[in-house]
């Protein structure tokens, strides 16, 4: 199959960003539970023995095999923040389509009342720069609100956005991306061309698709991109940010399974 052959695909509509009031997460009311302890920056142990993973976010974690002398940046800070918010608290768990991960842990958006205010834990952590947005193809509710909070935190360089360990990677630096295989990254670059194969579409960031950074999208996932109004045919020449786990296949790549992984960035304002 050829990834070099360009294909123009027109999708219609506009991406709808969640500008909802107050919580900006309108999942139906779920169940209540009490937090026994905090496992890490994205995991709660409940008094009934269950474990909850915070749906929609990825907290800082030490990479496998890390042998550095210093603790990995912001791992301890993220856990401490979650402990301050939830220690001994009664929380409300709200569920999306997928309720458990492959380890049997509960996946939920988590809310609690504290100091007379209602807190959405995921949004609080992302807004403080203590977690990045990490969405799933089958559990996408509330993600747009989290992306807005992440963008504000990144712009203000809060928390992990001050650290080299979480910087947004450049799509043009394939050598560096190759060293980041099997890690979760945000990658930005200007799209060169859209290629097609029998089962996949390819968003290529350089002319040599055999070594450049690429976003792959399965054809069976295109309906979701279409529904979100993401027009792949207009991407060449535009700067794009993608998030996901970096893999290696004819160069570094990220598989985009749903549209929330891909953001089309506004052109930079001319200096003047």
Contacts of 150 (CB under 8 A, 6+ apart): 126, 132, 133
Q: Whole-model pTM?
A: 0.87
Q: What is the Cα–Cα distance from 221 to 247, expressed in whole angstroms?
A: 19
pLDDT of residue 9: 31
At 103 the pLDDT is 94
Give the per-residue pLDDT at 32.
96
Please, where are the H alpha helices in 156-236? 174-179, 222-227
* Tokens found for residue 150: 């992440």
Looking at residue 270, its pLDDT comes to 57
List the beta strands (DSSP E) in the chain. Answer: 31-40, 43-46, 51-54, 57-58, 90-94, 106-114, 117-120, 132-133, 169-170, 184-190, 193-196, 200-204, 214-218, 239-245, 247-248, 252-255, 262-264
pLDDT tens per residue, the chain (272 residues)? 444 333 333 322 333 233 333 458 989 989 999 999 999 999 999 999 999 999 999 999 998 878 777 899 999 999 999 999 998 999 999 999 999 999 999 999 999 988 788 899 999 999 999 999 999 999 999 999 999 999 999 999 999 999 999 999 999 999 999 999 999 999 999 999 999 999 999 999 998 878 899 999 999 999 999 999 998 889 999 999 999 999 999 899 999 999 999 999 988 655 54
Q: Answer for the pair 91, 85: CB distance below 8 angstroms, yes or no.
A: no
Specify the DSSP class assigned to residue 166: G
pLDDT at residue 114, rounded to an integer: 82
Tell me what pLDDT residue 12 has: 26
């Amino acid at each position: 199959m050829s990834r070099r052959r360009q294909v123009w695909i027109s999708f219609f509509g506009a991406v709808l960003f969640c500008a909802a009031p107050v919580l900006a997460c309108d999942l139906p009311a779920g169940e209540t539970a009490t937090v026994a302890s905090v496992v890490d920056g994205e995991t709660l142990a409940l008094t009934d023995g269950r474990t909850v993973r915070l749906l929609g976010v990825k907290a800082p974690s030490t990479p496998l095999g890390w042998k550095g002398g210093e603790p990995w940046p912001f791992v301890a800070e993220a856990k401490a923040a979650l402990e301050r918010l939830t220690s001994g608290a009664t929380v409300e768990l709200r569920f999306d389509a997928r309720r458990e991960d492959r380890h049997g842990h509960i996946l939920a958006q988590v809310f609690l009342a504290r100091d007379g205010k209602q807190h959405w834990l995921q949004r609080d952590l992302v807004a403080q720069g203590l977690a990045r947005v990490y969405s799933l193809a089958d559990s996408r509710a509330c993600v747009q609100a989290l992306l807005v909070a992440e963008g504000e935190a990144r712009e203000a360089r809060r928390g992990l956005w001050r650290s080299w360990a979480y910087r947004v990677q450049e799509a043009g630096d394939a050598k560096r991306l190759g060293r980041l295989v099997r890690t979760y990254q945000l990658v930005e670059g200007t799209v060169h061309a859209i290629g097609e194969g029998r089962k996949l579409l390819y968003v290529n960031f350089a002319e040599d698709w055999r070594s450049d950074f690429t976003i792959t999208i399965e054809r069976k996932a295109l309906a979701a991109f279409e529904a979100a109004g993401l027009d792949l045919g207009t991407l060449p020449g535009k700067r794009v940010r993608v998030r996901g786990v970096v893999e290696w296949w004819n160069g570094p790549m990220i598989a985009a399974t749903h549209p929330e992984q891909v953001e089309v960035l506004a052109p930079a304002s001319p200096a003047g």
